[in-house]
């Protein structure tokens, strides 16, 4: 049985440089934070969160980063600090979940699995990018960011195919990427579309990553 009736697709864009060494790659700062709430029954996006973020450690975007993501310097200059974006996201999340009676994993004692989950493409967004930036900046990260579904992991086992990138994953199942690749909001919408296609094809989704596997409920998860 499919436990999730809704998913929240998230795809961060972050500061980057051409031919950067892996340690630098791991110290990226988030510059675009998009999230789309997708109804898996209808395939429709019902709500959208989208915020550009001001990088503090490396305020100047490389031309490589701007070309890759399409994000201009002036766009991040008028963005908000990550901490503010996280607070805005929290409010958005609270409102959208309440409106639909949705719960995230480990949010409610009576339904530990929840009926709505975060989905990302790979573990990078929550497992590396957000986790490391919050640690570096000594920022509290809400516990709901600790559980997610890596759609790529499910995709690989369901279709028995290892896509070379996200666009390849879409085209292999007959979908065309809509919008601009590496624009966070477009990536998130396309990830939502891929999820819906996978559900139609019969794939079952469950949490693939839990950074706090021994914790019964998320502390302070007041949503
Ligand atoms: P994506 O979701 O695939 O658009 O990538 C998320 C982030 O990973 C980007 O905003 C970059 O910071 C980094 N990234 C992705 N692809 C590359 C690449 N080819 N070279 C350098 N950084 C990249
Ligand atoms: Mg991504
Ligand atoms: Mg992206």
With the most atoms of ligand 1 within 8 angstroms of its CB, the residue from 16, 20, 188, 192 to mutate is 16
The set of residues, in sequence order, having a beta carbon less than 8 Å from that of 23 and lying 6+ positions away, is none
CA atoms within 13 A on the CB side of 77: 5
Q: Is 133 in the pocket of ligand 1 (CB under 6 A)?
A: no
Q: Is 152 in the pocket of ligand 1 (CB under 6 A)?
A: no
pLDDT greater than 80 at residue 222: no
Which atom of ligand 1 is nearest to 182's Cα?
Answer: 4
Q: Is 13 in the pocket of ligand 1 (CB under 6 A)?
A: yes
**pTM, 2 dp:** 0.97
Topology (CATH level 3) of domain 6-210: Nucleotidyltransferase; domain 5 (3.30.420)
Q: Is 190 in the pocket of ligand 1 (CB under 6 A)?
A: no
Tens-digit pLDDT profile for residues 170-217: 999 999 999 999 999 999 999 999 999 999 999 999 999 999 999 999
Tens-digit pLDDT profile for residues 115-147: 999 999 999 999 999 999 999 999 999 999 999
Tens-digit pLDDT profile for residues 39-83: 999 999 999 999 999 999 999 999 999 999 999 999 999 999 999
Query: What pLDDT, on a 0 to 100 scale, did the predictor assign at position 23?
Result: 67
Of 89, 151, 163, the C-alpha closest to 120 is 151
The set of residues, in sequence order, having a beta carbon less than 8 Å from that of 203 and lying 6+ positions away, is 154, 155, 158
Q: Residue 182 Cα, ligand 1 centroid: separation in angstroms?
A: 7
Ion ligand 3, residue ranges at CB < 5 A:
11, 184, 187
């Amino acid at each position: 049985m499919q436990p999730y009736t809704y998913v929240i697709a998230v795809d961060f864009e972050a500061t980057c440089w051409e031919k950067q060494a892996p340690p630098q790659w791991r110290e990226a700062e988030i510059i675009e934070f998009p999230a789309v709430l997708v109804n898996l029954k209808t395939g429709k996006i019902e709500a959208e969160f989208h915020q550009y973020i001001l990088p503090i450690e490396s305020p100047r975007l490389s031309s490589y980063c701007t070309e890759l993501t399409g994000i201009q310097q002036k766009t991040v200059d008028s963005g908000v600090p990550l901490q503010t974006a996280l607070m805005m996201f929290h409010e958005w999340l609270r409102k959208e979940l309440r409106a639909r009676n949705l719960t995230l994993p480990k949010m409610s004692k009576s339904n530990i699995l929840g009926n709505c989950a975060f989905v990302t493409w790979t573990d990078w967004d929550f497992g590396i990018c957000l986790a490391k930036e919050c640690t570096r900046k000594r920022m509290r990260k809400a516990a709901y960011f600790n559980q997610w579904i890596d759609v790529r992991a499910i995709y690989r086992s369901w279709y028995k195919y290892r896509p070379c990138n996200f666009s390849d994953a879409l085209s292999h199942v007959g979908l065309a990427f809509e919008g601009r690749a590496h624009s966070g909001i477009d990536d998130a919408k396309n990830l939502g579309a891929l999820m819906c296609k996978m559900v139609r094809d019969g794939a079952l989704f469950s949490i693939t990553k839990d950074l706090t596997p021994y914790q019964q409920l998320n502390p302070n998860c007041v949503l």
